[in-house]
Amino acid sequence: MYILKIKGKAKIPDYIQLRDDNFTLKAYFRVDRPDKSLSKFGYEDEKLKKLMDIINELPFGKVMKIDI
Distance, CA of 55 to CA of 49 (rounded, Å) = 10
Distance, CA of 21 to CA of 4 (rounded, Å) = 13
The SS3 assignment for 45 reads helix
Residues 1-30: what's their mean pLDDT?
Answer: 91
Question: Is 65 a residue whose pLDDT tops 90?
Answer: yes
Name 12's bridge partners: none
For residue range 18-60, what is the model confidence (pLDDT) as tens digits?
999 999 998 888 888 777 777 777 777 777 788 888 888 999 9
How distant, in Å, are the alpha carbons of 5, 11, 46, 53 from that of 49?
17, 27, 5, 6
| Between 52 and 62, the higher pLDDT residue | 62
Question: Is 7 a residue whose pLDDT tops 90?
Answer: yes
Question: Is 5 a residue whose pLDDT tops 80?
Answer: yes
